[in-house]
Structure 1
Amino acid sequence: MDQLLAALADPERLKLYARIVLQDLPPREEDSAAARKHLGRLISAGLVERLPDGSLEADPAVFRRARPAEPAQSGVPRRLTGFFAQGRLTSIPVRPVVRRELLEHLTETLFTADRSYTEREVNEAFRTVHDDTSALRRYCVENGLLVRERDGSSYRRATAVTV
């Protein structure tokens, strides 16, 4: 459902979609670069289909088939839910404040404060939510959320998280 709404979020794309639904699209109007770009987005979202004869058709049933957005992840702060899909982190936030909040959430949920972890264990824990374990590990160390021993033999969660 989110993909459908995102595809219709652009006013020009929405107008193009409406014209296709109403079958009010003059022949070859979709030839401009902007129209091709918008049309590509509508097609990839499943809102529009190009028929074998080259014409365009909008299928309103796509809205009935769409699943509603997944509920907020339990335990994930509301501000971070957009970075998760099906329990996995889809991207690491670029903004430092938001990234810090995400890292705090991950270290609090993946690691206990009174235990040391090998690098392999840290990677395995991070891999449960995202494939770029080295970036997550590095960000956590840089932000003081995970403390790495000088010889690199182990990591532990920082005892006090400061915001």
Structure 2
Amino acid sequence: MDQLLAALADPERLRLYARIVLDELPPREAESPVARKHLGRLLANGLVERLPDGSLRADPAVFRRAPGQVDAHPTVPRRLTGFFAHGRLTTIPVRPVVRHELLVHLTDTLFDADRSYSEREINDAFRTVHDDTAALRRYCVTDGLLVRERDGSAYRRW
């Protein structure tokens, strides 16, 4: 429950959440850089979900779940815990071996092996743990963990 309250503690994020609850957030506004930044935290905590048509819906059931069921990410491997705080990645490791281990963990927990993802879906998933989605996406592609279609239209887990 503390994570939910922390996610709503930011006034800008709380306003965004309220607009989603009241269905007053136009899709164009949801794509603004400020909204996308705050939306990542709302998505990560299960307060908001993105529907297949791309629209957003607030999930009030998240407030009724038991405290242990709110965590959006499985347990982080012990070796990687120093890179996380409050469920968010604080820094991307510089050492290639450690960074690769982190990327394997993220791709295993965020993406299904049997489906394709749009770049937007990849960014939304990575935004749940870190704001630099481009770096995470690029590292995953160069490490061979995500395969990008030649035309850039879709990604899939390798």
Counterpart in 2 of 1:79?
Answer: 79
In structure 2, stretches of 5+ residues that fail to align are 1-72
SS in 2 for 1:140: helix
**Runs in 1 of length 4+ with deviation above 6 angstroms?**
none
Question: SS of the counterpart of 1:129?
Answer: coil
Number of the residue aligned with 1:151: 151
The answer as to whether partners of 2:83 and 2:93 remain within 8 angstroms in 1 is yes
Map 1:63-142 to 2 at 5 A.
Answer: 75-142=75-142
Deviations 1:57-107 (A, max 9, x none): xxxxxxxxxxxxxxxx85211000000000000000000000000000000
Whole-Å Cα distance in 1 between the matches of residues 115 and 128 of structure 2? 19
Query: Is the CA contact 2:88–2:128 (under 8 Å) kept in the aligned structure 1?
Result: yes
SS state at 2:106 partner: helix
Q: Which of the pair has more CA radius of gyration? A: 1
Displacement after TM superposition at 1:155 (Å): 0.2
TM-score normalised by the chain length of structure 2? 0.53
Distance 1:74 1:124 in 2: 17
Amino acid at match of 1:102: L
Secondary structure, counterpart of 1:113 in structure 2: coil
Aligned residues: 86
Query: What amino acid maps onto 1:89 in structure 2?
Result: L
Distance in 2, matches of 1:74 and 1:157, equals: 18
Q: Which amino acid aligns with 1:131?
A: D
Measured on the aligned residues, the alpha-carbon RMSD in Å equals 1.1
Structure number with higher relative contact order (C-alpha < 8 Å, ≥ 6 residues apart): 2
What TM-score comes out, normalization by structure 1 length?
Answer: 0.52
Distance of 1:106 and 1:74 partners within structure 2: 10
More helix by share: 2
Unaligned runs of 5+ in 1: 1-72, 159-163
CA contact (8 A) 2:74 2:109 kept: no
Q: Distance in 1 between matches of 2:81 and 2:115?
A: 28
